[in-house]
Amino acid sequence: MTHNSPQAFFTTSFITLLQEHIYHFDTLPSTQTWAVEKIKAKTLIAPFCIHAKRQTQGIGSRGNQWENVPRGLMFSFALPLVSLPQDLKIESSSIFFGVILQQFLASLGSKVWLKYPNDLYINEHKIGGILTQKIHDSLVCGMGINLYHSPDASNSQHYATLEKSISANIEPLSFLSNFFQSFEKFISWKQIFSIYKLEFHKNNSYFFHFQNKHICLKDTILNEDGSLSIDGHKIYSLR
């Protein structure tokens, strides 16, 4: 089923359709790879969501392998491009959905923030990330969040996680249904950008490499389309 209305993404019927097409797996190599392959093979049509309790070859927010953790929330969802806000540049889709996720986690009491352009942080520690890919006429968005897991004496927890109290109450399928329901609150990129620009200052102590230079994010300008301006260049990624 496809959707022609540019506002379909935000309608109750569209969100319900996404909620009704959540596929759960105990183990997958990667939810993102699985979703992308199904779209390319035309065996699944957006909207849908893939959730796996465990990934063996998870993809990180910059294409690197995402370290498997004892407890995490890993999922990928696919949406028709025509369902996205008309003012959203596809290059900024990680920010768009990252802010929606950040806002949803904040509603649960988390102090999470979005490090430009697609990493989830609590204070100075990374707890998750977002990966978006345009595949044919669909956008596939993968998300991974480290959840708190009580370590035993032989396996101390050496990675940052979502807050313990919030992690304890997360049941994946209920979380996903409620997360997708929150989409109806956001009707445009302009709305998302107005939220994100107020928190962009949290990036000020972080650096990235660009044209063999070590550049601080506080020396960049965040543009209204989600790109950064630096030394006369406009970039959408810190890779």
Q: Where are the domains of the chain?
A: 8-192
Reported as a single tens digit per residue, the pLDDT across 161-213 is: 999 999 999 999 999 999 999 999 999 999 999 999 999 999 999 999 888 88
pLDDT > 70 fraction of the chain, expressed in percent and rounded: 88
* Mean per-residue pLDDT, 67-78: 88
Model pTM score: 0.91
E strand or H helix that includes residue 106:
helix 93-107
Spatial contact of 140 and 32, defined as CB atoms under 8 Å apart: yes
Mean confidence (pLDDT) of the chain = 90
3 band by pLDDT with thresholds 50, 70 and 90: very low
Question: Alpha-carbon distance 67 to 200, whole Å?
Answer: 27
Tell me, what's the pLDDT at 212? Answer: 86
69 band by pLDDT with thresholds 50, 70 and 90: confident
Give exposure, 14-39, as e/b (b: 16+ Cβ within 10 Å). Answer: bbebbbebbbeeeebebbbbbbbebb
pLDDT > 90 fraction of the chain, expressed in percent and rounded: 77
User: How many other C-beta atoms lie within 10 A of the C-beta of residue 97?
Assistant: 26
Question: Tokens representing 109?
Answer: 């009491």
Tell me, what's the pLDDT at 66? Answer: 59
CATH superfamily of 8-192: Bira Bifunctional Protein; Domain 2 (3.30.930.10)
* Mean per-residue pLDDT, 102-109: 98
Tell me, what's the pLDDT at 135? Answer: 98
Q: Looking at the predicted structure, is the pLDDT value of residue 58 above 90? A: no
Higher pLDDT, 144 or 69: 144
